[in-house]
């Protein structure tokens, strides 16, 4: 799987770079999602009959890998301002078809996102393509931690509210009888 996945990711990044006339090929998280068939094909062979399905497992693998990479590189950096922006209704559409400079500008609208990327050394301010890729890494790590959400179409937004039971509350929301 790793070789096939890598080939698909690089191929998608090359295709985007040529189509958009960019000078530098920089793979991004969106390219991993574009390469889902390389992951799901292998998962279907290994986990045939899995109840969740290959797509769900593949997406979770991408998210966990992004989070592990971000934790290793950035440790406990504060991402609260990013999460607060999404919690306040902010949303951002990210696909593998967007030029790196445009994506970099869009990421600039999320308070603290570019600061985190530059502060921890994920990308220099002078390299918008690498910074855009690093921003996707940060967002995907936050999705893995369930701090924000990501739709299948690549829209990052507010994390779904989790239903929590209160003390003495039954599974249906009512009080528990003694």
Quote the pLDDT of residue 42. 65
3-state secondary structure of 147: coil
State the pLDDT at residue 70.
Answer: 96
Quick one: tokens of 46?
């290994």
Mean pLDDT of successive 10-residue stretches along the chain, which has 178 residues:
85 94 93 85 59 78 93 92 97 92 96 96 94 96 96 93 64 54
- Is residue 166 assigned to a domain? no
Report if residue 168 sits inside a domain. Answer: no
Q: Is residue 40 part of a domain?
A: yes
Question: CB-based burial of residue 159 (10 Å sphere; 0-12 exposed, 13-18 middle, 19+ buried)?
Answer: middle
Q: What pTM, to 2 d.p., does this model score?
A: 0.79
The pLDDT of residue 5:
86
- Total number of domains constituting the chain: 1
In this structure, is residue 178 part of a structural domain? no
Q: Which pLDDT value is given to residue 144?
A: 95
Whether 169 maps to a domain, the answer reads: no
* 87 occurs within a structural domain: yes
Instruction: For residue 115, tell me if it sits in a domain.
Output: yes
Domain housing 22: 2-158
CA distance readout (Å), 34 to 6, 75, 124: 11, 28, 26
In this structure, is residue 64 part of a structural domain? yes
- 5 CB-contact burial (10 Å; exposed 0-12 / middle 13-18 / buried 19+): buried
């Amino acid at each position: 799987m790793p070789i096939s996945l890598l080939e698909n990711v690089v191929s998608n990044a090359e295709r985007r770079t040529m189509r958009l006339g960019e000078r530098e090929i920089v793979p991004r998280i969106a390219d991993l999602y574009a390469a889902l068939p390389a992951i799901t094909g292998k998962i279907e062979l290994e986990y045939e009959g899995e109840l969740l399905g290959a797509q769900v497992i593949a997406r979770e693998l991408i998210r966990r890998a992004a989070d592990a990479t971000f934790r290793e590189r950035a440790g406990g950096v504060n991402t609260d301002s990013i999460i607060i922006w999404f919690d306040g209704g902010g949303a951002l559409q990210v696909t593998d078809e967007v030029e790196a400079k445009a994506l970099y500008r869009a990421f600039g609208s999320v308070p603290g996102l570019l600061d985190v990327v530059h502060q921890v050394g994920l990308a220099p301010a002078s390299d918008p393509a690498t910074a855009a890729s690093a921003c996707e890494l940060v967002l995907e790590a936050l999705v893995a931690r369930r701090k924000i959400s990501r739709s299948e179409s690549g829209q990052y937004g507010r994390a779904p509210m989790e239903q929590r039971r209160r003390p003495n509350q039954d599974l249906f929301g009512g009080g528990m009888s003694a």
